[in-house]
Structure formats: C-alpha cells, structure tokens
Structure 1
Amino acid sequence: MKAVFGRCGIALVATVAMAAYAAKPEPPLLQATIAALDTSVFDAFNHCADPVQLQAHAAHFADDVEFYHDTGGVTWTRDAMIANTAKYACGHYTRELVAGSLQVSPVKDFGAIEHGVHRFCQVGTDRCEGEADFTIVWRLRDGQWTITRVLSYGHRPSPATP
C-alpha cells in the first residue's frame, strides 16, 4: 500500500508541477526585453532607406540567419536578407506591431521565441493595407541578443482595408 501511495503521490506532484509550469506566464523581464528589441530592430527597418539605419537593422541578425517568407521565399544569410530588405522594403513600406499581439516564450539555455502580428504601411501614403503573422527566434549569447530565425507568413489584407 505504501509503494502505491508513493507512486501516486509522485504522479500527483508531477501533475501539479506541470500544470503550474504550463499556466506560468513568460517572465515579465523577458517580455519587456524582447518587446524593446522588437522596437529597436523595426525602428531601424522603418528608416532603412538611410544606409546607417539599414546597418543598424542588420546588426540585430546572426550571420547565418534563416528568413522564411511565405510569398518571398527563403534566405539563408544576413547578407542575402539585408539585400532583399534594401531592394524590396526600404523606402517602400514600414512595419508596425499590431497592439496586443506580442507573445514571448523563453527557450531554455538559448533565448526566446517572439510571435505576433505585424502590419505593413506604404511610405508616403501611410496606408496600412497588409499584415502577416511572424515568429522570431532570439539567441542570447555573451549578453548579446541576435535573431537566428524569422518566419513571416499568412500575408493578407489588413482588416481595416475596405
């Protein structure tokens, strides 16, 4: 009887611990850190027609970043991704985070996963006609956060578009 109770007790403790972990929200400091990084990388992106800002944007990415875009394809390096950004985005459109969409999850011994929805606005008209889901994998190494993977997918008209 004692052995059965011991196993049940362990199972109960494990179940409670797993439920507590699943219900635990991301650490507030991590959420704030990734939100600030998102703001930094995309503020530079939004001004990337300026070569200094394009380089500031590029500095957020690992050399071997993988960028998956459902309509644009895949790039396997920072240089290729930045060349595409310069050619297709800079001076053409800006990106804004859809309020309330940012989610952050820690990745043990690596960094974090950021997920949300972003909207794209045409430069000059400020018309925001498109949006997409995104996922960004951030690595923390030696106190420095860098982006290692990006997925931008589900591109669609913004709900505000008539």
Structure 2
Amino acid sequence: MIKLFILILLFLTQVVFAQTNNEVLKMAALKTEIIKMDSLLFSVAFNQCDTTLFKKIIADDIEFYDDRSGLNTSKANEIKSLISKCVMAKKLTRKLNSCTIDKLGDFGAVQLGEHTFYFDGKPEGTGKFIHIWERTGNDWKLKRIVSYEHRPIKK
C-alpha cells in the first residue's frame, strides 16, 4: 500500500512539474513576442518614423490615455501625431528602460514599463506606460495605452 501511495505521489509530482514547466515556457515566449512588438512600435515606427508599420501595429479602436493631453480614441489622430513628431526640427526618440509583461487570458497581454525620451540623442524626460496588447491570430495589435508620470530629466 505504501509503495502504491509513493508511486501515485511521484506521478502527481511529475504532472504538476510538467504543467508548471509548460507555463514557464509559454510566459517566456509571450514576453519575447511583446518585447519584439515594443521594439517594432518604438525602435522602428516611432524612432524611424515608419508610419506604415505604425498603422499596422495600433488597433483601429485605439484608446490612448495621457496625463498631459487626456484621451484620444482616433487612430487617424495617432498617425497625425506621429507624422508631426517626425517633422520637428529636433529628432525625438524613445528608449525602453524596463518593463514587465503578463498574459491577459486568451485576449493578449499587458505590458507595464518605463521609458526615456531623447531630443537629438540627449535625454529629455521619462514616463511610465501601460500597454494592452491584443492577439489577433498570429498578429499583435496595441489596443489601449495609458501614458503617465512624465517627468523632465533634471539637468
């Protein structure tokens, strides 16, 4: 009887370990995907002014909550904002400082982070953000943005 109990216990331990290991692998893959999307959004679309890519990444029903300007629910306005940034005399770029990523069930993922903005390569300010990413098939769309706690760099 004791041998049977030990065998069942070992079996259950293996099942739990396999499920936990599978979840860890899924989270690692999710984090890799979202970091890639963040890089496409900012390193390419924002920093290099790739409006075509920007249009593909943001959702048609985007909601952008900003501590400075309030709420924007227009994809067209987000595209205009990127274009106006791209024609400024000073080049505005963004660098990701840190972030955490968690899954949102079968919907997608949430990314919380902090970034620094630069004018002509010089740090100008920092901000925090929350991005809600929606998985649509094999693609990701940025559905909701909360941008807050913008602070100038103390010089």
Bin the TM-score by the shorter chain: 0.7 to 0.9
4+ residue runs over 3 A deviation: none
Q: Which amino acid aligns with 2:130?
A: T
Once the 2 structures are TM-superposed, how far is the Cα of residue 85 of structure 1 from its aligned partner? 2.2
Gaps of 5+ in 2: 1-19
| Distance of 1:93 and 1:54 partners within structure 2 | 15
Once the 2 structures are TM-superposed, how far is the Cα of residue 74 of structure 1 from its aligned partner? 1.5
Once the 2 structures are TM-superposed, how far is the Cα of residue 38 of structure 1 from its aligned partner? 0.4
1:96 — aligned with what? 95
Q: Percent same amino acid at aligned positions?
A: 31
2:125 — aligned with what? 130
Residues 1:38 and 2:30 are matched in the alignment: no
Once the 2 structures are TM-superposed, how far is the Cα of residue 141 of structure 1 from its aligned partner? 1.4
Once the 2 structures are TM-superposed, how far is the Cα of residue 115 of structure 1 from its aligned partner? 0.9
Q: Which amino acid aligns with 1:56?
A: L
2:13 — aligned with what? none
1:72 — aligned with what? 69
- TM value normalised by structure 1: 0.74
Higher strand share: 2
Q: Which amino acid aligns with 1:71?
A: R
Once the 2 structures are TM-superposed, how far is the Cα of residue 156 of structure 1 from its aligned partner? 0.2
Q: Which amino acid aligns with 2:59?
A: A
Aligned length: 129
2:29 — aligned with what? 29
2:147 — aligned with what? 152
Residues 1:116 and 2:116 are matched in the alignment: no
**Structure 1 residues 84-118: Cα deviation after superposition (integer angstroms, max 9, x where no partner):** 2222x2244111101xx210010001000011001
**Structure 1 residues 51-70: Cα deviation after superposition (integer angstroms, max 9, x where no partner):** xx112122101111001111
Q: Which amino acid aligns with 1:109?
A: D
Residues 1:107 and 2:104 are matched in the alignment: yes
| Distance of 2:136 and 2:64 partners within structure 1 | 20
| Distance of 2:134 and 2:55 partners within structure 1 | 15
Gaps of 5+ in 1: 1-20
| Distance of 2:76 and 2:100 partners within structure 1 | 28
| Distance of 1:64 and 1:155 partners within structure 2 | 24
2:58 — aligned with what? 61
| Distance of 2:80 and 2:35 partners within structure 1 | 25
Higher helix share: 2
